[in-house]
Amino acid sequence: MKHYSFILFYLFCNVFIYAFQGSLWVYIACFLAFSAVVVWGSFAIELGYFVNSINHKRTKIKEIALTFDDGPTEFTPKFLDLLNEHQIKATFFCIGKQIEKYPETFQRIIAEGHTIGNHTLTHSRSTGFLSTSKMVAEIKNCDEVMKNVGNIQTNLYRPPFGVTNPSIAKAIKQTQKISIGWNVRSLDTIIDDERKIYKRITKDLRKGSIILLHDTSEKTYHVLVDLLVFLKDKKYSTFTVDSITNSRKK
C-alpha cells in the first residue's frame, strides 16, 4: 500500500520542526495537522489512504455504474421494477441483516441478473472503531447469509460509510475482498431535496463514473426515475462493478 501523501507530510513536518528548532508548539501543530489528515483519509475512500479501492472505470466510452447500498428494503422492488423497465443492470451492496429480513427480494436481485456486493452483516455505526477480528466477522457472516439465502458468493465489498482504516484494510485482505468505492456520491441519505440530489449526481458525472445511491427511500426512487431519463438522453450506457474486477462467483 502506497501512502505517498503521508510520507511527504511526514517529511514536511520533520523539516518544519528542524527549521524551528523543535519548538513544542510546532510539534503540537504538526501532530494536530497529521491527525486531521488521518481522519480525512479514513472518511474519504476515494483518496485510497488505507485501502486501494476501485472508484471508477477507466474507459473511453460514455458508461457509468449504478450502485445501491444498504438494502434490500421495502423499497427495493420498486427500484428493480424501474431497472427492469429500462433493461439496466446495477450493483447492490447488501447488508446481511437486511437480506435475512427480505430474503425474497434478495433472491429477486440475483434472479434478475444484478451484481451483488458485501456490505457487512450489520452496517454498524461503530465500524470505524471495530477491531480487525470483528470486521472479519462482519464480512464473513454477511457472506454466510448471502450463501444461505441466495446461493451466491462475491469478492466485492463496500465499506460502510466509506470508512477505511488499518483494521479494515487488514480485514479486507484476510477475507480476500475487493474494495469498491465511488467517485459520484449522491448524499441521498442526507439531502432531502430530490432536485439537489439529482443535480449533485449529474453535474459530477463523467465516463466510467461509479455512482453511490441507496435503495432505501421513495426519495431516491424518484431521483432514479429522472436520472435514467438523463442517462438515456445523454447516451450513457451502464456497467456493473464485476465487469471491472471479473470477480463475480455464483
Which residues are known catalytic residues?
Answer: 69, 214
Residue 165 DSSP symbol: -
Quick one: which of 243, 132, 114, 138 has its CA closest to 180? 243
Distances (CA, A) of 29 to 10, 35, 39, 136: 13, 10, 15, 35
How do 153-154 and 248-249 pair as beta strands? Answer: antiparallel
Query: Nine-digit cell at 199?
Result: 443535480
Q: Helix, strand or coil for residue 115?
A: strand
Task: Determine whether 127 is exposed, middle or buried from the number of CB atoms within 10 Å of its CB (0-12, 13-18, 19+).
Answer: buried
What CA–CA distance (Å, rounded) separates 201 from 84? Answer: 21
**Phi, psi values for residue 54, rounded to 5°:** -85, 115
Tell me which amino acid residue 25 is.
W
For residue 68, list its beta bridge partners: 92, 213
Q: What DSSP designation does 127 have?
A: G
Cα–Cα distance for residue pair 157/127, rounded to 1 Å: 14
d(C-alpha 164, C-alpha 53), whole Å: 10
Distance, CA of 165 to CA of 110 (rounded, Å): 31
